[in-house]
Structure 1
Amino acid sequence: MMSLPIEDLTDSNLKSVISFVHSATGITIPEHKKTMIQRRLSPRLKFHSLTSYSDYLKLVKSDSEEMVQFINMVTTNETNFFRTERVWEYFECTFLPSFLEMNPGKTLKVWSAAASTGEEGYSIGMCCEDFKRRQSTSFDYSVLGTDISSRVIDLATSGRYSGRNIDNIKKKSIDRFNRFFNKVGDQHIVSSILRSKVSFATHNLFNTLKSDELFDIVFLRNVLIYFSTEDQKKVIHHLIKKMAPGAILVVGESESLSNLNTELEFISPLIYRKRV
């Protein structure tokens, strides 16, 4: 049987989708992204043999499994290894030596709070492994990567990469590529040492992370730009709860916390510290 064509996304339904995306994820999608929304959601309508977006929204609101699929479809996931060079220079050359000097014997706890497909978390792991190799004293670490999308968390956990991601890290550091990746078929999988130190879980930034750990440094990059000022405050509030006194927060290049009046003090562009 030939499936019926999907109705166009009306302005009214567009507003309903945008409103629901915001209530579910905190992300504010502008109305000019209508084509993108249709492109991402239409496969789910076809899967359920639905022809209208209003019917699909009713399904999402009543079906927790479809809610997961909906979130997977509407969230943006774009990243690469060692994105923004100065962030990694700070982490390797300033933060790690300072942390070890001030906390000898303590395990470093790192949170990649918008982990996407895992490149940031594994980049952190590579930096820590290389720092560890250079030390005469003991140094240990653990990295937690979280994201609202279960789809990208599954990809991150697999540690398998190909295409542009692999080309990118080859260009940035062929040495690290050779040491931390193993070829499996037409893909490359991160080394077992990294996968033993870097773990992933789904998490909504509008909730407080369910973990007893307090983190020494949190990466939350290129996410706050999708939130309103009020929602940014909510997210930062939840992050601060899980940051140790004096812990560092790293944000994205287009992001600033200067107007949020938080417990964080400005250290340098992109870098904030939780007041002790």
Structure 2
Amino acid sequence: MHAFHHHAVAALRINADPIAAGSPPLGDAEFRAIAAIMQDEARIHLSDAKTTLVHSRLSRRLREQGLGNFQEYVRLVQKDREERAAMVVALTTNHTHFFREAHHFDHFRATTMPWLQQRARRGAIRIWSAGCSSGEEVHTIAMCLLGESRQVPAWLRQADLKLLATDIAPHVVESASRGLYSAATVEAVPARYREAWMRSSGGDYQMAAEARSLVTAKVLNLFEPWPMRQSYDVIFCRNVMIYFDDQANAELQARFVELLAPGGFLYIGHSERLIGPAATRMTPCGHTIYRKEPR
């Protein structure tokens, strides 16, 4: 495994956390400095509307570092790479659930999977969940591939198939790798999939070994070099790009298109759109579903 940062960006929660009583104020200059660092480190755009969220999240970091004000904190993150990385994680939130935006998985099963089965006869299959959060998305993909019975399909047993799940926050990457979810979290999983590919574990549910073995979870920053050396057949990057500006999105989407194999599929979030070069190179084939032109 490559020993550099792999991060993919998680989403900022819209509703701010409550601010602890007695927290030092966050001045405009400090907010702008923090916003600039977030843009530089993760290309996340922090509008003025996020001031309360930044104040509440980073007040905890101040307390943990024993600092009395935000001026001291800004000086710290400007010189300390570890705290800068911790700040990025503190200001990103991972919100997801199983079978989120169900029409994507309907399309994946009906259209993408038959195409993948054909491709599997000729070579490796690679699928990427970019901005994977705690792994519900990538494990939904795994369950769709495995099917509704406990019998792993023959084509899958023989295929060289790997699912990559990446996120910027190490703690959620660990959750995605572990594949352990609360009973409330798995309620969204259709009963047949749950019975086939989840095992009860002390009141929680763990993804079955057959599902977990398909998934590799890594920390990755979407705007740093990517370690992948081969093309990908399917990329899911949903509800991540809403936190970037247009220039960042155009760059990121163009990189996705380059990484996709001819005929490959890109799934994006319900309020996201393709812009820039990617919009001319991808064909819409459903709501927020795009396909790269086959050669």
Q: Which residue of 2 aligns with 1:90?
A: 107
Closer/same/farther in 2, CA of residues 126 and 137 from structure 1, 3 Å limit: closer
Whether contact under 8 Å (2:147, 2:153) holds in the other structure is: no
Q: 2:185 aligns with which of 165, 172, 187?
A: 165
TM-score by length of 1: 0.89
**What is the alpha-carbon distance in structure 2 between the residues aligned to residue 90 and residue 68 of structure 1?**
37
Instruction: Say which SS state the counterpart of residue 218 (structure 2) adopts.
Output: strand
Q: Which residue of 2 aligns with 1:202?
A: 219
**What is the alpha-carbon distance in structure 2 between the residues aligned to residue 223 and residue 21 of structure 1?**
15
> How many Å apart are 1:194 and its aligned residue?
1.2
Any stretches of 5+ residues in structure 1 without a counterpart? none
Residues 204-253 of structure 1 deviation map (CA, whole Å, 9 limit, x = unaligned): 11124112221100001111111111110111122233222221111111
Instruction: Say which SS state the counterpart of residue 268 (structure 1) adopts.
Output: coil
Q: What RMSD in Å do the two structures reach over aligned CA positions? A: 2.2
Deviation >6 Å, runs of 4+: none
Matched, 1:130 2:147: yes
Closer/same/farther in 2, CA of residues 131 and 163 from structure 1, 3 Å limit: closer
Instruction: Return the letter of the residue paired with 1:28.
Output: H
- How many residue pairs were aligned? 269
Q: Which residue of 2 aligns with 1:272?
A: 290
Matched, 1:42 2:52: no
State how 1:103-182 maps to structure 2 within 5 Å: 103-130=120-147, 137=155, 140=159, 141-162=161-182, 164-169=184-189, 173-182=190-199
Whether contact under 8 Å (2:119, 2:125) holds in the other structure is: no
Closer/same/farther in 2, CA of residues 61 and 187 from structure 1, 3 Å limit: farther
Any stretches of 5+ residues in structure 2 without a counterpart? 1-20
> How many Å apart are 1:57 and its aligned residue?
2.2
> How many Å apart are 1:105 and its aligned residue?
4.5
Instruction: Return the letter of the residue paired with 2:219.
Output: T
Q: Which residue of 1 aligns with 2:88?
A: 71
**What is the alpha-carbon distance in structure 2 between the residues aligned to residue 247 and residue 253 of structure 1?**
19
